[in-house]
Structure 1
Amino acid sequence: MTKKWWHGKVAYQIYPKSFNDTTGSGIGDLKGITQKLDYLKELGIDIIWISPCYCTPFADQGYDISDYYNIDPVFGNMDDMDELLAEAKKRDMYILMDLVVNHCSDEHEWFKKAMANPDGEYGKYFYIEEGKDGKEPNNWRSYFGGSAWEKIPGTDKYYLHLFHKKQPDLNWENEKVRKEIYKMINWWFDKGLAGFRIDAIINIKKALPIIDYCYTPDREDGFVQPQKMLKDAVGVGEFLTELKNETFAKHDAFTVGEVFDEREEDIPLFIGENGYFSSMFDFNETIFGKSKNGWYDCSPITPDDYKRCCFETQQRVGDIGMISTIIENHDEPRGVSHYIPSEDLSETAKKFLGTMQFMLRGLPFIYQGQEIGMENVNFTSMDQIDDISTRDQYKVAINAGLSPDEAFAAVKKYSRDNSRTPFQWDTSENAGFSTGKPWLMVSPDYKRINVASQINDPDSLLSYYKKLTALRKNPEYAETVVYGKTVPYLPEVERLMAFKRVGDNQTLLVLGNFQTKPQIVKLPSKCKKVVLNNVKNVEFVSDTEIKLEGYQALVIEI
C-alpha cells in the first residue's frame, strides 16, 4: 500500500447543531467548533469531519442544501468558516465537510427554476417524469417512507426524491449538473478544505429508464425499497471516476465514502490504489440484524455477531486499501448502548469497545461524545423525537400491528436522535452546551457523563481514549497499528474478541473479554510487554495463559 498523509491520523465527526453553542441560540455553531479545537487536539484528533452546515431549511437536518456556497446563519457565516480553517491549520488539523450531491433542497435555486418550467433547462437537472395512469411513475419507496415521487402542482409530472420530498434527486446523467458540482467542490478546496465525507453516493446512479422500472411491492404500502433498484443500476463507476479526476485527485484530498451494499469485487474500485475514494466506512456491524420490514423487526446484535462482522470486513478489505472504522455516527444509536448488552454497560466495557475499534486495521473515526461514553437517551415520548426516520418507523410499526407503546419501545433504541442530543461538556444547565434552550433535549444523564468530570481523571474514559490515539502515533508501535495485518485469534471462543496485528518486525496481540464473567485465554507465545490495558492489573496464570477480567481489553507485544 502506498503510504498517504492521512493513514496514521485519527478522525472525529462533529454534528455542528449539537456540539457547542456560543450565541445562546440553542443551536451549535462554527465558532463553537473553533473554541473547542484545543480540546480536540489534546484528545489526539487530526481530521475533523463537520456534518452539513450549508444553507438549509433543515428538512433532514442540513442534508437538504439550498446553497452549497454559503453557511447557514444558524451556524454563523463564511468568515467563521474561514477562521475555523485557519485555526485548524495552525494546529496541524484538517477539516472535512459533508459532500451531499445525490440531492439538494427543494429551496435550491436550481429546483425553483425547474418547478417554474419543468420542461426547461433546469428541469433536466432533476428526474422529472410523467405520471402513469394517474399515479406515480413507478412504485419506488423513499428511504423515509411513502412514494419516492412527488407530484408537481398543476401538472401530471412528478419529481424523484429517494429521501425526503424536500430533497429532490439531482440528475447526474446531465453533464451540466456534474460540472456545476465539480466547480463547487474545487471552490471549497481552494478555500483550504482537506477533503469530504461523501454522503449517499451510490444513489447517484439510477436504473434507467425510470418510467418502466418497477418491482413487486415488499410491504403492504405497495412500494418497494430503493436498494433493489440500486443493485441493477450500472455505471456509477464512470461518474465516480470523473468526480475524482476533476476534483479530489487535483488536491491530494482525503475522501471517505458512505457506501452501502458494495459488492466485494468492487472494493478495489472504491478504495484500492487508484480508487474513487481514499477510504469508506465499515458498516458491516451497523447493518447487522436490520430488517426490510422496519426497525420493529430488527434483530439485536450479540457480542459474537459483532466480532464476526468486524473480522469479515478486515478479511474482505485486506491489503486492498484502508477502511474507516466507527462504532457510531449521526445516523446510528450510541455504540455503547447498541453493542454492549444493557446489563453489562460500564466504564470498563466502554473502554473495551473503544480498544477493539482502534486496534482493528483502519482509520478510526470518533463520533462526538463517544470519547466520554455518551449513551442512548431514555426517551419517554414520541414528542421528544425530532428525527424524521424515527417518526416514519414509528408509523411502520403501528401499521404492522404494534400498539403505540410497543412501537415507541421498538424505535426509540434505534433513533438517530440518540446520537444527536447536545454534547455533554459539564454539569451546568444544558450540560454546558448552550445558555439558551437547546434545539433537542439534553440527555438526563449529563451530570453523570460529561467532559468536566473526566478531563482530569487519569482513569476516565476520556483519558483512555487519549491513550488509544497516542498508541496509534507512538513511533514504537505506529507501523504495526496502522499497517499491520489483522489476523483473528481463537475466533471460535465465545465472548472473546482476539486478534493479532502483524507487522514486518513486530506482533501485537489484542485480547478482549466480551462479557462480565472472567475467562482464561491461552497465548500463542510469551508476552514481551503489556502495551495497553483497560483495567488495573494483568493476571498471568502461566507464561502462556492469561486471566481476563470482565470486559478487560489488553494489547500486548508477543
Structure 2
Amino acid sequence: MKKKWWHDKVAYQIYPKSFLDSNGDGIGDLRGIISKLDYLKDLGVDIIWLSPIYKSPFVDQGYDISDYYSIAEEFGTMGEFDELLAEAKKRNMYIIMDLVINHCSDKHEWFQKALADPDGEYADYFYFRKGKDGNPPSNYRSYFGGNCWEPVPGTDKYYFHMFAKEQPDLNWENPTLRKKLYDMINWWLEKGLAGFRIDAIINIKKDLDFPNLEPDGADGLAGCWRMVENVEGVGEYLEDLKKNTFEKYDAFTVAEVFNMHKDELSQFIGENGHFSTIFDFSAHTLSDGAHGWYDAPDINFNDWRKTIINSQLQVQKCGIEANIIENHDEPRGVSRFLPEYARNPLGTKMLGTVSVLLRGIPFIYQGQEIGMQNAVWNDVKEYNDINTIDQYNLAISAGLSDKEALAVCSKMSRDNARTPVQWSDSDNAGFTTGTPWLKVNSNYKDINVQNQENDPDSVLNYYRKLVATRKSPEYKEVFTYGVFEPAYEDTEYVMAYYRVSDNQRILVAANFGKDAKTIELKFPVKKVVLSNIGKKEINEVSLKLDSCEVIVIECGE
C-alpha cells in the first residue's frame, strides 16, 4: 500500500451547534471550537471534521445549504473560520468540512431561479418532471417519509427530493452545475481546507426514467434508496469529481456511502479509489428495522462481533476504512452496543479500545471521549430532529402507543448524539450561559469533562492513553498498517483480535459478558500495553478477563 499523509491520523467529529457556545445564544459556534483546540490536541486528535456550518435555514440542521460560500451567522464569520484554520495549523491539525452536493436548500439562489422559470436554465439544475394523471411522476418515499415529489407551484410539474421537501436534489447530469460545484470545492481547498466528509454521495446517480417500484409499505410507496441500488454508473461521476477537485490538492476525503454494491469496495477506497476512505456502518445497520425504528431489532453481541470481523477482513484486501462508534446521525454507542450492565466507565473504555485499535482511521465523535450516553426523552416535543418526528409518527401509525413510540425514539433518535457536550457540572453542563437549542442530557452532573479531567481513572484520561498508544512511535506502524486477525471467536462474549506487522503482534481482548472468561494464550506475553483495570502483569499461559475488561498485549515469538 502506498503510504498517505492521513493513514496514521486520528479524527474527531464536531457537531458545531452542540459543541460549545461562546456568546450565550444557546448555539455552539466557531469561537467555542477555537477555544477547545488545545483540549482536542491533548486528546491526540489530528483531523477535525466540522458538520455543516454553511448558511442554511436549518430545516435539516445545516444539511440544507442555501449558500455554499458563506458561514451561517449562528456559527460566526468567515474571519473566525479563517482563524480556526490558522490556529489548527499552528497545532499541526487539519480541518475538513461537510460536503453536501446531492442536494441543496430550497432557499438556494439556483432553486429560487428554477421556481421562477420552471422551463429555464436553472430548472435543469434539478429534477423537474411532469406528473402522471394528476399524480406524482413515481411512487418513491423519501428518507424522511412522504413522497419524493413535491408540486412546483402554478405548474403541472414536480421536483424531486430524496430527503426533506426543502432539500431539492441536484441534477448531476448537468455539466454546468457540476462545474459550479467543482469550482466551489476548489475554492475551499484553496483556502486551506484539508478535505471533506462527503454526505449521501451515492445518491447523485438517478434512474432518469424514475420508474414506479413495487410498494414496500402501507402508504403505497417504495423507498427511494431502492432506485439508487438498482442504477449503474455512479462511479463515472465520482471519478470526475475526484479528478477535478480532490486529486489536485491531495485532499483527504471520507464518504458516507450506503447502498454500495458488494464488489465495488476497491473502486471506492482502493489504491486509486474515488475517495480516501468511507465510513464502516456495518455494525450500525444491524439495528435497521424492516419498516422503521419501531421494528428495529436489538443488537446481538454475536452478530456485532461477526459483522466487525467480516468487515475488517474484507476491507484490508483493498484499502482503509473509517471506524466509528457513533456520529451525529446515530444514537450514542454506549447505549447502543453495550448491554445495560456494561454502560459504565469500564464498559465505555472497553468499547472504545476495541474500536480505536481496529485497522482503519478512528473517528471519535464529540462527547464519546467522556462516555456520553443517550438522553431520557419525555415528550415528542422535546425533539428537534426532523427524522425522529417522522419515525415517531410512523410508529404511531403502526399501532404503537405514545409511550411505546417515545421509547422507540429514545433508543434510536439522532438527537441523542446532538445534546450539548457536557463540559462541567455547572448550569447547562457548561455548554452555554443562555438557553440551549436542544436540552442537555440530565446525567451531565455525573458525566462531564471537568470531573474527568481531575480523575486519573476517568474515561477521558483513558481515551487519551488509548489514542497515545495507537500513535506512539513504538506501535504506530502496527496499528496503522498491521493486518487484522480475529481471535477467540468461539469464546462466548469475547471480542478479540490481533494486529500483526512484520515484527510485532498485538492482542486486543475484551469481555463483553457478565461473567469472567478465561482464554488460553497462544503466544508469550512480552508486555501489557494497555488495560482498562490497570492490570500490569498476567499469567504467561492463560488470561482471565473480568466482565467489561479489555487488555492490549504485545506478544512475543
- Correspondence for 1:257 among 255, 278, 295: 255
Q: Is the 8 A contact 1:538 1:548 kept in 2?
A: no
- Distance, in Å, in 2 between the alignment partners of 1:319 and 1:344 is 33
Give, as a single letter, the amino acid of the residue that structure 2 aligns with 1:214: N
Task: Select between 221-230 and 114-123 the one with higher mean Cα deviation.
Answer: 221-230
User: Cα deviations across residues 189-210 of structure 1 (Å, max 9, x unaligned)?
Assistant: 0110000000000000011212
Q: Is the 8 A contact 1:472 1:478 kept in 2?
A: yes
- Distance, in Å, in 2 between the alignment partners of 1:457 and 1:478 is 27
Aligned to 1:81: 81
Map 1:320-331 → 2, pairs under 5 A: 320-331=318-329
Deviation of 1:292 after TM superposition, in Å, equals: 2.9
- Distance, in Å, in 2 between the alignment partners of 1:261 and 1:134 is 31
In the alignment, structure 1 residue 547 sits paired with structure 2 residue 534: no
Give, as a single letter, the amino acid of the residue that structure 1 aligns with 2:518: I
Deviation of 1:264 after TM superposition, in Å, equals: 2.5
Map 1:310-459 → 2, pairs under 5 A: 310-459=308-457
Map 1:18-33 → 2, pairs under 5 A: 18-33=18-33
Deviation of 1:403 after TM superposition, in Å, equals: 1.2
Q: Is the 8 A contact 1:264 1:316 kept in 2?
A: no
- Distance, in Å, in 2 between the alignment partners of 1:153 and 1:263 is 38
Deviation of 1:516 after TM superposition, in Å, equals: 2.7
Deviation of 1:281 after TM superposition, in Å, equals: 0.3
Aligned to 1:9: 9
Deviation of 1:539 after TM superposition, in Å, equals: 6.8
Deviation of 1:343 after TM superposition, in Å, equals: 3.0
Q: Which runs of 5+ in 1 are unaligned?
A: none
Q: Is the 8 A contact 2:377 2:406 kept in 1?
A: no
* SS in structure 2 of the partner of residue 413 of structure 1: helix
Aligned to 2:204: 204
* SS in structure 1 of the partner of residue 137 of structure 2: coil
In the alignment, structure 1 residue 173 sits paired with structure 2 residue 170: no
Give, as a single letter, the amino acid of the residue that structure 2 aligns with 1:545: S
Deviation of 1:263 after TM superposition, in Å, equals: 2.1
- Distance, in Å, in 2 between the alignment partners of 1:302 and 1:412 is 19
Map 1:177-326 → 2, pairs under 5 A: 177-210=177-210, 213-326=211-324
- Distance, in Å, in 2 between the alignment partners of 1:549 and 1:292 is 36
* SS in structure 2 of the partner of residue 188 of structure 1: helix
- Distance, in Å, in 2 between the alignment partners of 1:343 and 1:472 is 28
Aligned to 1:160: 160
- Distance, in Å, in 1 between the alignment partners of 2:443 and 2:230 is 46
Q: Is the 8 A contact 1:390 1:412 kept in 2?
A: no
In the alignment, structure 1 residue 522 sits paired with structure 2 residue 513: no
- Distance, in Å, in 2 between the alignment partners of 1:491 and 1:208 is 46
User: Cα deviations across residues 284-336 of structure 1 (Å, max 9, x unaligned)?
Assistant: 01111312311010111022222111111101111311100000000000000
Deviation of 1:543 after TM superposition, in Å, equals: 2.3
- Distance, in Å, in 2 between the alignment partners of 1:524 and 1:229 is 49
* SS in structure 1 of the partner of residue 141 of structure 2: coil
How many equivalent residue pairs?
555
Aligned to 1:477: 475
- Distance, in Å, in 2 between the alignment partners of 1:159 and 1:169 is 8
Give, as a single letter, the amino acid of the residue that structure 2 aligns with 1:228: R
* SS in structure 1 of the partner of residue 391 of structure 2: helix
Map 1:90-169 → 2, pairs under 5 A: 90-169=90-169
* SS in structure 1 of the partner of residue 498 of structure 2: strand
User: Cα deviations across residues 377-434 of structure 1 (Å, max 9, x unaligned)?
Assistant: 0111111111111110111111111111111111221000000000100011111111
* SS in structure 2 of the partner of residue 452 of structure 1: helix
Task: Select between 117-126 and 471-480 the one with higher mean Cα deviation.
Answer: 471-480
Q: Is the 8 A contact 1:14 1:368 kept in 2?
A: yes
* SS in structure 1 of the partner of residue 374 of structure 2: coil
* SS in structure 2 of the partner of residue 196 of structure 1: strand
Deviation of 1:344 after TM superposition, in Å, equals: 2.5
- Distance, in Å, in 2 between the alignment partners of 1:182 and 1:142 is 27
Q: Is the 8 A contact 1:208 1:233 kept in 2?
A: no
Give, as a single letter, the amino acid of the residue that structure 2 aligns with 1:332: E
* SS in structure 1 of the partner of residue 285 of structure 2: coil
Give, as a single letter, the amino acid of the residue that structure 2 aligns with 1:544: V
- Distance, in Å, in 1 between the alignment partners of 2:89 and 2:136 is 50
Q: Is the 8 A contact 1:539 1:548 kept in 2?
A: no
Deviation of 1:538 after TM superposition, in Å, equals: 5.6
User: Cα deviations across residues 250-278 of structure 1 (Å, max 9, x unaligned)?
Assistant: 00000000011222211111000000000
- Distance, in Å, in 2 between the alignment partners of 1:448 and 1:289 is 28
- Distance, in Å, in 2 between the alignment partners of 1:63 and 1:80 is 21
Aligned to 2:58: 58
Give, as a single letter, the amino acid of the residue that structure 2 aligns with 1:463: N
Q: Which runs of 5+ in 2 are unaligned?
A: none
Give, as a single letter, the amino acid of the residue that structure 2 aligns with 1:84: L
Aligned-pair Cα RMSD in Å: 0.9
Aligned to 2:554: 557
Q: Is the 8 A contact 2:489 2:496 kept in 1?
A: yes
- Distance, in Å, in 1 between the alignment partners of 2:295 and 2:152 is 35
Q: Is the 8 A contact 2:342 2:348 kept in 1?
A: no
Q: Is the 8 A contact 1:49 1:98 kept in 2?
A: yes
- Distance, in Å, in 1 between the alignment partners of 2:409 and 2:76 is 33
User: Cα deviations across residues 28-75 of structure 1 (Å, max 9, x unaligned)?
Assistant: 001111111000001100000000000000000000000000000000
* SS in structure 1 of the partner of residue 284 of structure 2: coil
Identity %: 56
- Distance, in Å, in 2 between the alignment partners of 1:196 and 1:126 is 23
* SS in structure 2 of the partner of residue 186 of structure 1: helix
Runs of 4+ in 1 over 2 A off after TM superposition: 536-540
Q: Is the 8 A contact 2:528 2:537 kept in 1?
A: no
* SS in structure 2 of the partner of residue 197 of structure 1: strand
User: Cα deviations across residues 237-259 of structure 1 (Å, max 9, x unaligned)?
Assistant: 00000000000000000000001
* SS in structure 2 of the partner of residue 511 of structure 1: strand
- Distance, in Å, in 2 between the alignment partners of 1:119 and 1:312 is 50
- Distance, in Å, in 2 between the alignment partners of 1:556 and 1:165 is 52
